[in-house]
Amino acid sequence: MKSKKIINISLALLFAASACKKSTIFEDPFNAISQDAAFSTADKVEKSAVGMYDALQNLNFLCGRILIYADQRGIDEAPNSYFGNVGFLPNLTASDGTVGASWRDGYNTIFVANNFLQNLQAHSSVVTPDKANQYIGEAKFIRALCYTYLVNLWAQPVNKTWSNTDTTTLGVPLVLTAATDPFAASNQVARAKVTEVYAQIEADLLDAKSKLPAPSSTDAFTRTARANRSSALALLARIYLYEGQWKKASDYADSVMTYSSILKLNTSPELTFASPYTTGESIFSVAMNGADNPNTNNSLGQHYGARARGDINISTDYVKLFDTLHDARYTKLMEIYNGLYWTKKYPGITTDFVPVLRYSEILLTKAEALARLNTAAVDASALGYLNQVRTRSNPAMPVVAATQPALVDSILKERRIELAFEGHGIIEFQRTGRTLPAHYGINALPWASQRSIMPIPDYDIQKNPNLAPNPGY
> Domain map of the chain by residue range?
35-438
pLDDT above 80 (res 27): no
What would the mean pLDDT of 181-204 be, rounded to a whole number? 90
pLDDT above 70 (res 272): yes
pLDDT above 50 (res 3): no
pLDDT above 80 (res 11): no
In this structure, which topology does domain 35-438 adopt according to CATH? 1.25.40
**Can you say how many angstroms the Cα of residue 286 is from the centroid of all Cα atoms in its chain?**
10
Determine what percent of the chain is predicted with pLDDT higher than 70. 91
Q: Where are the alpha helices (DSSP H) in 378-457?
A: 380-393, 404-418, 425-431
H or E element at residue 118: helix 97-122
Long-range CB pairs of 193-196, under 8 A, 24+ apart, other chains included: 193/161, 193/167, 193/169, 194/151, 194/155, 194/156, 194/157, 194/158, 194/160, 194/161, 194/169, 194/170, 195/158, 195/161, 195/164, 195/171, 196/171
Q: How confident is the model at residue 329 (pLDDT cuts 50, 70, 90)?
A: very high
What would the mean pLDDT of 195-210 be, rounded to a whole number? 98
Lowest-confidence region among 124-128, 276-280, 290-294, 463-467: 290-294
With beta carbons less than 8 A apart as the criterion, state whether 285 and 225 touch.
yes
User: Which pLDDT value is given to residue 168?
Assistant: 66
User: Which pLDDT value is given to residue 198?
Assistant: 97
pLDDT above 90 (res 263): yes
Summary mean pLDDT of the chain: 92
Say which residue, 288 or 296, is predicted with more confidence: 288
pLDDT above 60 (res 1): no
Determine what percent of the chain is predicted with pLDDT higher than 90. 86
pLDDT above 50 (res 4): no
pLDDT above 90 (res 115): yes
pLDDT above 80 (res 184): no
Rounded-to-integer distance, Cα 349 and Cα 287, Å: 13
The residues with which 140 forms a beta bridge, in sequence order, are none
Radius of gyration, alpha carbons of the chain:
22
pLDDT above 60 (res 23): no
With beta carbons less than 8 A apart as the criterion, state whether 336 and 365 touch.
no
The residues with which 191 forms a beta bridge, in sequence order, are 173
pTM: 0.92
pLDDT above 90 (res 295): no
- Which residues, at least 6 apart from 85, have a Cβ–Cβ distance to it below 8 Å? 91, 92, 93, 96, 98
395: Cα within 13 Å, side-chain hemisphere: 4
What would the mean pLDDT of 162-181 be, rounded to a whole number? 79
The pairing of strands 170-173 and 191-193 is antiparallel
Q: How confident is the model at residue 146 (pLDDT cuts 50, 70, 90)?
A: very high
What would the mean pLDDT of 434-444 be, rounded to a whole number? 97
pLDDT above 70 (res 9): no
pLDDT above 50 (res 357): yes
